[in-house]
Amino acid sequence: LGYLAAVAEQDGHEVRIHDFGLYPSQPLEEDARQVVDYKPDLVAFTSMTTSYHYVEQLVQRLKGELGVPVIIGGPHATTMPDATLANPNIDYLIYGEGEHIWQDFLRALESGDTRWGDISGLWYKEDGKVVSGGSRKPIDDLDALPFPSRHLYDLDKYPLYAPNGEPMLTILSSRGCPYACSFCFKGIVGRSYHQRSPEDIVAELKEVNAAYGIRNFYFIDDLFTIDVKRLEIILDYFIDQRLDYRWRCLARVDRVTPDLLKKMYKAGCRQIHYGIESGNQEVLKRTAKHIDLQQV
Protein backbone atom coordinates (compact mmCIF):
# COMPACT_ATOMS: atom_id res chain seq x y z
CA LEU A 1 0.00 0.00 0.00
CA GLY A 2 2.87 2.34 0.74
CA TYR A 3 4.18 1.94 -2.81
CA LEU A 4 0.72 2.41 -4.36
CA ALA A 5 0.14 5.51 -2.25
CA ALA A 6 3.50 6.92 -3.34
CA VAL A 7 2.64 6.37 -7.01
CA ALA A 8 -0.67 8.19 -6.54
CA GLU A 9 0.96 11.06 -4.64
CA GLN A 10 3.59 11.34 -7.35
CA ASP A 11 0.76 12.18 -9.78
CA GLY A 12 -0.69 14.80 -7.43
CA HIS A 13 -3.45 12.80 -5.75
CA GLU A 14 -4.34 13.12 -2.07
CA VAL A 15 -4.19 9.75 -0.33
CA ARG A 16 -5.12 8.29 3.03
CA ILE A 17 -4.42 4.77 4.26
CA HIS A 18 -6.76 3.03 6.69
CA ASP A 19 -5.38 -0.20 8.16
CA PHE A 20 -8.46 -1.76 9.73
CA GLY A 21 -6.40 -4.69 10.96
CA LEU A 22 -5.01 -2.42 13.68
CA TYR A 23 -8.43 -2.18 15.31
CA PRO A 24 -10.00 -5.67 15.20
CA SER A 25 -12.55 -4.85 17.91
CA GLN A 26 -13.67 -1.59 16.29
CA PRO A 27 -17.24 -1.80 14.93
CA LEU A 28 -17.76 -1.89 11.19
CA GLU A 29 -19.78 1.31 11.43
CA GLU A 30 -16.80 3.17 12.87
CA ASP A 31 -14.45 1.84 10.18
CA ALA A 32 -16.89 2.96 7.50
CA ARG A 33 -17.36 6.37 9.11
CA GLN A 34 -13.63 7.10 8.96
CA VAL A 35 -13.68 6.58 5.20
CA VAL A 36 -17.01 8.31 4.56
CA ASP A 37 -15.96 11.41 6.50
CA TYR A 38 -12.92 11.73 4.23
CA LYS A 39 -15.24 11.83 1.17
CA PRO A 40 -12.85 10.12 -1.26
CA ASP A 41 -13.40 10.04 -5.02
CA LEU A 42 -12.17 6.44 -5.13
CA VAL A 43 -11.88 3.61 -2.59
CA ALA A 44 -9.18 0.95 -3.00
CA PHE A 45 -8.68 -2.25 -1.01
CA THR A 46 -6.08 -4.95 -0.63
CA SER A 47 -6.92 -8.15 1.17
CA MET A 48 -5.83 -11.63 2.10
CA THR A 49 -8.46 -14.35 1.75
CA THR A 50 -8.76 -14.56 5.54
CA SER A 51 -10.00 -10.97 5.75
CA TYR A 52 -11.95 -10.77 2.51
CA HIS A 53 -15.31 -11.44 4.20
CA TYR A 54 -14.82 -8.20 6.13
CA VAL A 55 -13.91 -6.31 2.96
CA GLU A 56 -17.20 -7.43 1.42
CA GLN A 57 -19.16 -6.05 4.37
CA LEU A 58 -17.27 -2.77 4.36
CA VAL A 59 -17.51 -2.35 0.58
CA GLN A 60 -21.27 -2.78 0.72
CA ARG A 61 -21.51 -0.04 3.33
CA LEU A 62 -19.17 2.36 1.53
CA LYS A 63 -20.70 1.82 -1.89
CA GLY A 64 -24.10 2.65 -0.49
CA GLU A 65 -22.97 5.82 1.28
CA LEU A 66 -20.38 7.18 -1.15
CA GLY A 67 -21.36 5.81 -4.53
CA VAL A 68 -17.77 6.08 -5.78
CA PRO A 69 -15.75 3.52 -7.77
CA VAL A 70 -14.23 0.65 -5.79
CA ILE A 71 -11.07 -1.17 -6.88
CA ILE A 72 -9.33 -4.10 -5.21
CA GLY A 73 -5.98 -5.85 -5.53
CA GLY A 74 -3.71 -8.06 -3.48
CA PRO A 75 -3.43 -11.81 -2.83
CA HIS A 76 -7.13 -12.70 -2.67
CA ALA A 77 -8.11 -10.66 -5.72
CA THR A 78 -5.23 -12.05 -7.76
CA THR A 79 -5.92 -15.62 -6.71
CA MET A 80 -9.68 -15.43 -7.36
CA PRO A 81 -10.35 -12.52 -9.74
CA ASP A 82 -13.64 -13.78 -11.18
CA ALA A 83 -15.13 -14.60 -7.80
CA THR A 84 -13.96 -11.25 -6.40
CA LEU A 85 -15.50 -9.22 -9.21
CA ALA A 86 -18.73 -11.18 -8.83
CA ASN A 87 -19.34 -8.86 -5.88
CA PRO A 88 -21.69 -6.17 -7.25
CA ASN A 89 -20.01 -3.50 -5.11
CA ILE A 90 -16.52 -4.01 -6.57
CA ASP A 91 -15.95 -2.33 -9.93
CA TYR A 92 -12.30 -2.96 -10.83
CA LEU A 93 -9.52 -5.38 -9.95
CA ILE A 94 -5.74 -5.15 -10.27
CA TYR A 95 -4.16 -8.49 -11.09
CA GLY A 96 -0.68 -9.09 -9.69
CA GLU A 97 1.97 -6.42 -9.21
CA GLY A 98 0.08 -3.19 -9.00
CA GLU A 99 2.04 0.05 -9.33
CA HIS A 100 1.97 0.51 -13.11
CA ILE A 101 -1.59 -0.77 -13.50
CA TRP A 102 -2.71 1.49 -10.65
CA GLN A 103 -1.03 4.52 -12.20
CA ASP A 104 -2.57 3.86 -15.61
CA PHE A 105 -5.98 3.37 -14.01
CA LEU A 106 -5.81 6.62 -12.03
CA ARG A 107 -4.74 8.60 -15.08
CA ALA A 108 -7.53 7.12 -17.19
CA LEU A 109 -10.11 7.69 -14.47
CA GLU A 110 -9.03 11.30 -14.03
CA SER A 111 -9.13 12.01 -17.77
CA GLY A 112 -12.46 10.28 -18.30
CA ASP A 113 -10.95 7.68 -20.62
CA THR A 114 -13.02 4.54 -20.00
CA ARG A 115 -11.24 2.26 -22.47
CA TRP A 116 -10.36 -0.09 -19.62
CA GLY A 117 -9.42 -2.85 -22.03
CA ASP A 118 -6.34 -0.84 -22.99
CA ILE A 119 -4.92 -1.27 -19.48
CA SER A 120 -3.20 -4.63 -19.23
CA GLY A 121 -3.70 -6.26 -15.84
CA LEU A 122 -6.90 -4.33 -15.05
CA TRP A 123 -10.03 -6.48 -14.74
CA TYR A 124 -13.41 -4.78 -14.92
CA LYS A 125 -17.10 -5.29 -15.70
CA GLU A 126 -19.00 -4.60 -18.89
CA ASP A 127 -22.77 -5.08 -19.03
CA GLY A 128 -22.54 -6.90 -15.72
CA LYS A 129 -19.97 -9.42 -16.97
CA VAL A 130 -16.37 -9.74 -15.83
CA VAL A 131 -13.82 -8.74 -18.45
CA SER A 132 -10.34 -10.17 -17.93
CA GLY A 133 -7.45 -7.77 -18.29
CA GLY A 134 -5.03 -10.67 -18.14
CA SER A 135 -1.73 -10.10 -16.41
CA ARG A 136 1.01 -7.56 -16.93
CA LYS A 137 4.72 -8.16 -17.28
CA PRO A 138 6.44 -7.74 -13.89
CA ILE A 139 8.17 -4.44 -13.19
CA ASP A 140 11.80 -4.77 -14.26
CA ASP A 141 13.20 -1.48 -12.96
CA LEU A 142 12.30 -1.41 -9.27
CA ASP A 143 14.67 1.54 -8.79
CA ALA A 144 12.25 3.67 -10.81
CA LEU A 145 9.51 3.25 -8.22
CA PRO A 146 9.15 5.93 -5.53
CA PHE A 147 9.90 4.94 -1.96
CA PRO A 148 6.81 3.89 0.04
CA SER A 149 4.77 6.73 1.56
CA ARG A 150 5.56 5.90 5.17
CA HIS A 151 4.29 9.30 6.31
CA LEU A 152 0.74 8.05 5.71
CA TYR A 153 1.10 5.42 8.43
CA ASP A 154 0.96 5.86 12.18
CA LEU A 155 4.21 3.97 12.61
CA ASP A 156 3.82 3.79 16.38
CA LYS A 157 0.90 1.42 15.80
CA TYR A 158 3.24 -1.18 14.30
CA PRO A 159 5.26 -2.63 17.21
CA LEU A 160 8.21 -4.09 15.35
CA TYR A 161 11.44 -4.30 17.31
CA ALA A 162 14.99 -5.41 16.64
CA PRO A 163 16.81 -7.94 18.87
CA ASN A 164 18.41 -4.97 20.66
CA GLY A 165 14.96 -3.66 21.62
CA GLU A 166 15.05 -0.66 19.29
CA PRO A 167 12.20 0.07 16.83
CA MET A 168 12.48 -1.42 13.36
CA LEU A 169 10.91 -0.68 9.96
CA THR A 170 10.48 -2.93 6.94
CA ILE A 171 12.12 -2.52 3.55
CA LEU A 172 11.97 -4.47 0.30
CA SER A 173 15.10 -5.00 -1.81
CA SER A 174 13.65 -7.41 -4.36
CA ARG A 175 10.38 -8.89 -5.54
CA GLY A 176 9.35 -12.36 -6.57
CA CYS A 177 10.46 -15.90 -5.95
CA PRO A 178 11.65 -18.58 -8.39
CA TYR A 179 10.22 -21.39 -6.26
CA ALA A 180 6.68 -22.79 -6.43
CA CYS A 181 5.83 -24.01 -2.94
CA SER A 182 2.27 -25.32 -2.99
CA PHE A 183 1.14 -23.27 0.03
CA CYS A 184 2.20 -19.90 -1.44
CA PHE A 185 0.16 -17.73 -3.81
CA LYS A 186 3.29 -16.29 -5.46
CA GLY A 187 3.42 -19.17 -7.94
CA ILE A 188 0.05 -18.11 -9.34
CA VAL A 189 1.44 -14.84 -10.68
CA GLY A 190 4.65 -16.33 -12.05
CA ARG A 191 8.10 -17.09 -10.73
CA SER A 192 9.97 -13.99 -11.86
CA TYR A 193 12.55 -12.34 -9.65
CA HIS A 194 13.57 -8.67 -9.83
CA GLN A 195 16.04 -6.70 -7.77
CA ARG A 196 16.81 -3.18 -6.66
CA SER A 197 20.32 -1.79 -6.91
CA PRO A 198 22.47 -1.49 -3.77
CA GLU A 199 22.55 2.29 -4.28
CA ASP A 200 18.75 2.56 -4.32
CA ILE A 201 18.41 0.36 -1.25
CA VAL A 202 20.91 2.42 0.73
CA ALA A 203 19.26 5.66 -0.40
CA GLU A 204 15.99 4.46 1.14
CA LEU A 205 17.70 3.30 4.33
CA LYS A 206 19.29 6.72 4.72
CA GLU A 207 16.01 8.51 4.00
CA VAL A 208 14.17 6.50 6.65
CA ASN A 209 16.97 7.04 9.14
CA ALA A 210 16.92 10.80 8.54
CA ALA A 211 13.12 11.04 8.75
CA TYR A 212 12.43 8.74 11.69
CA GLY A 213 15.75 8.08 13.41
CA ILE A 214 15.41 4.37 12.62
CA ARG A 215 18.61 2.35 12.38
CA ASN A 216 17.12 -1.17 12.42
CA PHE A 217 15.53 -2.66 9.31
CA TYR A 218 13.70 -5.81 8.33
CA PHE A 219 14.22 -6.96 4.73
CA ILE A 220 10.90 -8.60 3.91
CA ASP A 221 11.93 -9.95 0.51
CA ASP A 222 10.53 -13.45 -0.01
CA LEU A 223 14.12 -14.65 -0.24
CA PHE A 224 16.79 -12.11 0.59
CA THR A 225 19.58 -14.67 0.04
CA ILE A 226 18.33 -16.32 -3.15
CA ASP A 227 20.86 -14.65 -5.47
CA VAL A 228 24.14 -15.01 -3.61
CA LYS A 229 26.22 -13.05 -6.16
CA ARG A 230 23.79 -10.14 -5.96
CA LEU A 231 23.75 -10.38 -2.17
CA GLU A 232 27.56 -10.27 -2.02
CA ILE A 233 27.48 -6.98 -3.98
CA ILE A 234 24.91 -5.53 -1.57
CA LEU A 235 26.91 -6.63 1.47
CA ASP A 236 30.11 -5.13 0.06
CA TYR A 237 28.28 -1.86 -0.56
CA PHE A 238 26.87 -1.84 2.98
CA ILE A 239 30.36 -2.42 4.38
CA ASP A 240 31.99 0.20 2.13
CA GLN A 241 29.36 2.77 3.13
CA ARG A 242 30.14 2.11 6.82
CA LEU A 243 26.44 2.03 7.61
CA ASP A 244 25.63 2.01 11.31
CA TYR A 245 22.46 0.00 10.73
CA ARG A 246 21.33 -3.42 11.92
CA TRP A 247 18.96 -5.65 9.99
CA ARG A 248 17.15 -8.96 9.76
CA CYS A 249 15.98 -10.88 6.70
CA LEU A 250 14.16 -13.96 5.40
CA ALA A 251 16.11 -16.89 3.98
CA ARG A 252 16.09 -20.55 3.01
CA VAL A 253 18.35 -23.00 4.81
CA ASP A 254 19.80 -24.14 1.47
CA ARG A 255 20.79 -20.61 0.41
CA VAL A 256 23.35 -19.72 3.08
CA THR A 257 26.91 -20.81 3.86
CA PRO A 258 29.14 -20.18 6.89
CA ASP A 259 31.24 -17.66 4.94
CA LEU A 260 28.14 -15.83 3.70
CA LEU A 261 26.70 -15.67 7.20
CA LYS A 262 29.93 -14.14 8.53
CA LYS A 263 29.86 -11.49 5.83
CA MET A 264 26.18 -10.79 6.48
CA TYR A 265 27.01 -10.21 10.14
CA LYS A 266 29.82 -7.83 9.21
CA ALA A 267 27.34 -5.91 7.02
CA GLY A 268 24.88 -5.52 9.89
CA CYS A 269 22.71 -8.66 9.89
CA ARG A 270 21.65 -9.67 13.40
CA GLN A 271 18.71 -11.98 12.81
CA ILE A 272 17.49 -14.38 10.12
CA HIS A 273 14.04 -15.91 9.79
CA TYR A 274 14.21 -19.24 7.96
CA GLY A 275 11.20 -20.70 6.18
CA ILE A 276 11.25 -24.28 7.45
CA GLU A 277 7.46 -24.86 7.28
CA SER A 278 7.49 -28.43 8.67
CA GLY A 279 9.54 -30.89 10.68
CA ASN A 280 8.19 -33.74 8.58
CA GLN A 281 10.20 -34.61 5.47
CA GLU A 282 7.18 -36.03 3.67
CA VAL A 283 5.27 -32.77 4.17
CA LEU A 284 8.24 -30.81 2.81
CA LYS A 285 8.24 -33.07 -0.25
CA ARG A 286 4.49 -32.76 -0.84
CA THR A 287 4.61 -28.96 -0.59
CA ALA A 288 7.54 -28.73 -3.03
CA LYS A 289 9.66 -26.90 -0.47
CA HIS A 290 12.81 -28.66 -1.73
CA ILE A 291 14.76 -28.60 1.51
CA ASP A 292 15.60 -31.49 3.81
CA LEU A 293 15.68 -31.73 7.57
CA GLN A 294 19.41 -32.39 7.57
CA GLN A 295 19.91 -28.90 6.12
CA VAL A 296 17.67 -27.50 8.84
Q: What is the dihedral of CA 9, 12, 16, 17, to 10 degrees?
A: -30
The third-level CATH classification (topology) of the domain covering 159-286 is Transcription Regulator spoIIAA (3.30.750)
The yes-or-no verdict on residue 209 having pLDDT over 90 is: yes
Return the domain boundaries, the chain.
2-131, 159-286
Q: Looking at residues 68-79, what average pLDDT do you find?
A: 96
**CA–CA separation, 131 and 116 (whole Å):** 9
Confidence of residue 191 (pLDDT cuts 50, 70, 90): confident
Name the least confident of 31-35, 186-190, 218-222, 271-275. Answer: 186-190
Higher pLDDT, 223 or 215: 215
Q: Tell me: the pLDDT tens digits for 265-289?
A: 999 999 999 999 999 999 999 999 9
Q: Looking at residues 1-10, what average pLDDT do you find?
A: 98
SS (H, E, C) the chain: CHHHHHHHHHCCCCCCCCCHHHCCCCCHHHHHHHHHHHCCCCEEEECCHHHHHHHHHHHHHHHHHHCCCEEEECHHHHHCHHHHHCCCCCCEEECCCCHHHHHHHHHHHHHCCCCHHHCCCEEEEECCEEECCCCCCCCCCHHHCCCCCHHHCCHHHCCCECCCCCECEEECCEEECCCCCCCCHHHHHCCCEEECCHHHHHHHHHHHHHHHCCCEEEECCCCCCCCHHHHHHHHHHHHHCCCCCEEEEEECHHHCCHHHHHHHHHCCEEEEEECCCCCCHHHHHHCCCCCCCCCC
Q: Looking at residues 46-72, what average pLDDT do you find?
A: 96
pLDDT of residue 190: 66
Q: Tell me: the pLDDT tens digits for 14-30?
A: 999 999 999 989 999 99
Percentage above 70 pLDDT, the chain = 98
Q: Looking at residues 212-221, what average pLDDT do you find?
A: 97
- Whether 255 and 226 have beta carbons less than 8 Å apart is answered as yes
**CA–CA separation, 259 and 60 (whole Å):** 55
Q: Looking at residues 231-254, what average pLDDT do you find?
A: 95
pLDDT of residue 192: 84
The yes-or-no verdict on residue 250 having pLDDT over 90 is: yes
pLDDT of residue 178: 86
Amino acid at 194: H
The yes-or-no verdict on residue 142 having pLDDT over 70 is: yes
Q: Tell me: the pLDDT tens digits for 121-137?
A: 999 999 999 999 999 99
pLDDT of residue 182: 87
Calculate the average pLDDT of the chain: 95
Name the least confident of 32-41, 139-148, 183-192. Answer: 183-192
The yes-or-no verdict on residue 8 having pLDDT over 80 is: yes
Choices 3.40.50.280, 3.30.70.870, 3.40.50.720, 3.40.50.150: CATH for 2-131: 3.40.50.280
The yes-or-no verdict on residue 247 having pLDDT over 80 is: yes
Phi-psi label, residue 132: left if phi above 0, alpha if psi -120 to 50, beta otherwise = beta
Confidence of residue 231 (pLDDT cuts 50, 70, 90): very high
Percentage above 90 pLDDT, the chain = 89
The yes-or-no verdict on residue 177 having pLDDT over 90 is: no
